[in-house]
Structure 1
Amino acid sequence: MTSKERIRATIEHKPTDRIPSTMQCVETEWDNLKKHFGVETEEEVMDILEIDTRILDMPPYIGPENENYVNEDGEEVFTHPMGFRYVKKWNGVEYNMHIIHLPYDHIETWEDFEKFDGWLNPDHYDYNAVKEFCDRHEDKAIRIGWPGPYQVFTQMYDAEKFYINMYEKPDLIKAMLNRYCDASLELYERMFEAAGDRVDILRCCDDYGTQISLLFSPGMWDEFFAENTKRFVDLAHRHGAYYLQHSCGAIRPIIPNLIRLGVDVIEPIQKVTGMEVDGLKADFGKDLCFQGGVDTQGVLPLGTPDEVYEETVRVIRALSPGGGYILAPSQDFEGDVPVENVIALYEARKEFGGI
């Protein structure tokens, strides 16, 4: 099977020749892996580890140049193409992005909303790069996507204000979410068209859970996010792709809502209450494919390669019977994960034959 065939078959719960896999890393971990394998590119690392997906979250930005500057603390301030500004802070292992300016924050009234012109502009991206990306990876499963109905919105609008205004100004918040989603959907529509419908997965990032509970009640989730989630699902399906819902945290109470809307895959399956892999497979395995599940907070950074191997085998045994599992960690590989543990995770699938 090709990687594309393998990923598509497992999402449809059909037999595959081996466990399919995906992979994302922070920059520091990519550098660690390249050094370990003695290679120059991320592509070479993925080839060595037999990764089935290739990921292009967004097309390259080609819009007006975003101005950077140095603030009063001597830090360089960067402006993201989506409009938020950030500085980079060293955490002892790598640099993290700290957002310091949110472009939607001054939208307080309907008048502010009507006048605002800083929304994501789909015209500012290079869609020819999408075609070229697909051309380079014909036999791989192509995944696109980043902005979804919620999480990325909070990189443009203060989260505390957002939660308060869901109660105090619900109609304004819904209008803002809809306008933001309109632009994201248009961008993805153009990506699908440029790809010639060779995209396999649309993945949107929306962290609806904390490590102990949902951020919203299922009813509130339906009120504010269900309609736009359905729009993203329908867009993917219309172009022959699957819809993958990314959400960290304890999201079990809204999994039936996601199934009702046609979501095909959920990830990253953190090791939190309610997201135990055996229970997820038993209750939702016939309706969903799962991706992830190998804990990046505990065993991957802190365990031995043998412990990582054993935990990965446990997750695969729980989630892969009958298809419907894509091997991955529960988050991107961070820079504190030993290279040997990354290798152990992907070695573990070799214990399994055709599924």
Structure 2
Amino acid sequence: MDSRERTLRALDFEEPDRVPIDLWLSRGMKQKLLAERGMTFEALLDAYDVDLRYIEGPTYIGPPLRTFDDGTDEDIWGVRRTSVTVPVGGGAETYKEVAHSPLAEAESAEAIHDYAGWPSPDWFDYSPIERQCTALLEQGRAVVFMGDRLNRLAQLKPAMYLRGVEQIFIDMALDPALARAVFAEIRRFYCAYAERIFEAANGKLDLLLTGDDFGAQAGPLVSPPMWLDFLADGFAEY
């Protein structure tokens, strides 16, 4: 049984020969592990017979993403981030922290829809996708696309980036029309983006992962009724 059959059988609630293996690593841990093993990342995946393999996906060809004098850089949504490095177990990890939420000052649903910074699915070249999928299928692997950590199919997480973590929750409670406008624009982009990815893959992509944030250490970020009200339909649409 190869990786693809193993993974698809598990997803169909059928028992495979073993549990499919996936591997996620932080950037710092990945660098440390590869240095200790003296191998490439692909060789590491093969050595541990990791079943789920991720394609790079489409190439960004849109407007240049700006870097500012204060060291912050801009993503496709117009969100600006700064790099933060923290010591971790004899080494260090670097992550991106939001420094500017472009919709933080918006006061109406109309202002949300009128925002000039909404991304377009036309900003990406999807032509490499089928080739990327084919290369993994030829190895018998399950083919997955997830995207970058800061750009993958989601609703609440990009809304928190765009509006501010606290503010989007306030919106959901006190200004639901504004919150729905934010979620609608996010869905508009990701639905078109995902459709283009599947079209380009030509039937060769096994999994497209979403990646949102719904929970904190003490419980869910929003109540189940609020999740159903604001977010359930969007994920059904995805």
Question: TM-score, with normalisation over the residues of structure 2?
Answer: 0.89
Partner Cα distance (1:215, 1:231) in 2? 22
The Cα shift of 1:158 comes to 0.6
Deviations 1:137-179 (A, max 9, x none): 1121122232212223212221111111112210121122012
Q: Deviations over 1:226-251 (max 9, x none)?
A: 1101111xxxxxxxxxxxxxxxxxxx
Provide the C-alpha distance between the structure 1 equivalents of 2:110 and 2:159, rounded to a whole number of angstroms.
20
SS in 2 for 1:137: helix
Written as runs of structure 1 = structure 2, the 5 A alignment for 1:299-318 is: none
Match for residue 149 of structure 2? Answer: none
2:196 to 177, 180, 190: 190
Shift of the 81–113 alpha-carbon distance from structure 1 to 2, 3 Å rule, reads: closer
CA distance in 1 between counterparts of 2:236 and 2:218 reads: 26
1:150 corresponds, among 137, 156, 165, to 156
Q: CA RMSD in A?
A: 1.6
The answer to whether the Cα contact below 8 Å between 1:147 and 1:153 also exists between their aligned partners in 2 is no
Q: Decide whether aligned partners of structure 1 residues 133 and 52 sit closer, same or farther in structure 2, where only a CA change above 3 A counts.
A: same
Q: How does 1:1-355 map to 2 (within 5 A)?
A: 1-39=1-39, 41-56=40-55, 59-71=58-70, 76-92=71-87, 93-138=92-137, 139-145=140-146, 146-232=152-238
Q: Counterparts of 2:24 and 2:58 in 1: how far apart (Å)?
A: 17
Q: 1:155 to 1:211 in 2, by over 3 A?
A: same
On the 8 A contact 1:61/1:81 being kept in 2, the answer is no
Alpha-carbon contact 1:107-1:116 (below 8 Å) kept: no
Q: Is the 8 A contact 1:33 1:45 kept in 2?
A: no
Deviation at 1:104, TM superposition (A): 2.5
Amino acid at match of 1:103: P
SS of equivalent to 1:108: coil
SS at match of 2:220: coil
State the AA in 1 paired with 2:29. E
Amino acid at match of 2:180: K
Q: Which amino acid aligns with 1:106?
A: E
Measure how far apart 1:58 and its partner are: 5.1
CA contact (8 A) 1:120 1:184 kept: no
Give the unaligned 5+ runs of structure 1: 233-355
Deviations 1:274-310 (A, max 9, x none): xxxxxxxxxxxxxxxxxxxxxxxxxxxxxxxxxxxxx
The answer (yes or no) to whether the contact 2:113–2:185 under 8 Å persists in 1 is no
Tell me if the contact between 2:83 and 2:97 (Cα under 8 Å) persists in the aligned partners: yes
- 1:42–1:153 Cα change, 3 Å: farther
Per the alignment, do residues 113 and 69 of structure 1 end up closer, same or farther by CA in structure 2, a change over 3 Å counting?
closer
Is the CA contact 1:57–1:143 (under 8 Å) kept in the aligned structure 2? no
Distance 1:80 1:58, change over 3 A: farther
CA contact (8 A) 1:83 1:103 kept: yes
Q: Secondary structure at the match of 1:142?
A: strand
Name structure 2 gaps, 5 residues minimum. 147-151
Match of 1:250 in 2: none
Q: Distance in 1 between matches of 2:105 and 2:132?
A: 37
User: How many pairs align?
Assistant: 227
Structure 1 window deviating more from structure 2 (136-145 vs 158-167): it is 136-145
Shift of 1:5: 0.9
Shift of 1:129: 2.2
Contact 1:130 1:194 in 2 (8 A): yes
* Matched residue type, 1:166: M
The corresponding residue for 1:245 is: none
Please tell me whether the aligned partners of residues 131 and 196 of structure 1 are also in contact (alpha carbons under 8 angstroms): yes
Distance (Å, rounded) in 2 between the aligned partners of 1:110 and 1:171: 6
Letter in 2 for 1:170: P
Following the alignment from structure 2 to structure 1, what is the Cα–Cα distance between the partners of residues 173 and 51?
A: 43
Alignment partners' CA distance in 2, 1:110 and 1:217: 23
